[in-house]
Amino acid sequence: MIRFRIPLLLILGTLFRVSESLRFELKSGGTRCISEDIGINSMTVGKYHIINPNEGHPMPESHKVTVRLISSHGNTYHYADSVDAGQFAFTTGDKGEHSACFWGHQHDPPVTMTIEIDWKTGVTTKEWPSVAKKGQVDVMELELKKLQETISAIHYEMFYLRDREEEMQELNRSTNSKMAWMSFLSLAVCLSVAGLQLWHLKTFFEKKKII
């Protein structure tokens, strides 16, 4: 039970943190990727846009990017070419790191764009005010719905972390086994080389009639 305390605290911190947008700079001709570790069958939503450097004026033509969101298995969940804004929503079909990559178009002289992305997964994708409005539920029912969704997400994340831990343990066992064989092989090679050297020296001294 002790080994699950830290992951549980991390999960709770992730589920209840205030969602904040991420901003980063991208130079024309450059590439930037951000990644999120997501479990299988998790709801994911997000939106992104380029910050207009001239507020109140049209977006410059140079401020366009190509966006692609892929999983660690190479599945593409979102793709957009020559855009200054966009959004995505999907349910993951595999687990692991999912990356959103942005490519800036080449321009001369080069420009630097500021991109803002808001990426949500799991229970944070729920729009609770709209749920309350549509269902005409009272405050207690709304809180119970939120609690139920949170518990389900924690339950899923616990199993996901356990599976990842088992995968890492299996990888460690395989690596240790390979290292043991490698050490044995290295020792055998060293002993063989030492034996050959001794045999060569003995043969040399015998020919020279030193021994």
Q: What is the CATH number of the domain that holds 104?
A: 2.60.120.380
- Does any domain span residue 54? yes
Does 187 score more than 60 pLDDT? yes
Q: Specify the range with the lowest mean pLDDT, choosing from 76-90, 144-158, 165-179.
A: 144-158
- Does any domain span residue 3? no
Does 174 score more than 70 pLDDT? yes
Does 83 score more than 90 pLDDT? yes
List, in order, residues 6 or more apart from 184 with CB less than 8 Å away.
none
Position with higher pLDDT, 42 vs 103: 103
- pLDDT for 49: 94
- For residue 104, give the 3-state DSSP assignment: strand
Distance (Å, whole) CA 95 – CA 177: 27
Distance (Å, whole) CA 140 – CA 138: 6
pLDDT band at 199 (very low <50, low <70, confident <90, very high): confident
Q: Specify the range with the lowest mean pLDDT, choosing from 2-6, 68-72, 166-170, 194-198.
A: 2-6
Mean pLDDT of the chain: 80
Is the pTM here over 0.85, yes or no? no
Cα-Cα-Cα-Cα dihedral sign, residues 172, 175, 177, 180: negative
- pLDDT for 147: 78
Question: How many domains in the chain?
Answer: 1
- Does any domain span residue 126? yes
Range of the domain at 49: 19-132
- Does any domain span residue 141? no
Distance (Å, whole) CA 211 – CA 203: 10
pLDDT band at 129 (very low <50, low <70, confident <90, very high): low
- For residue 171, give the 3-state DSSP assignment: helix
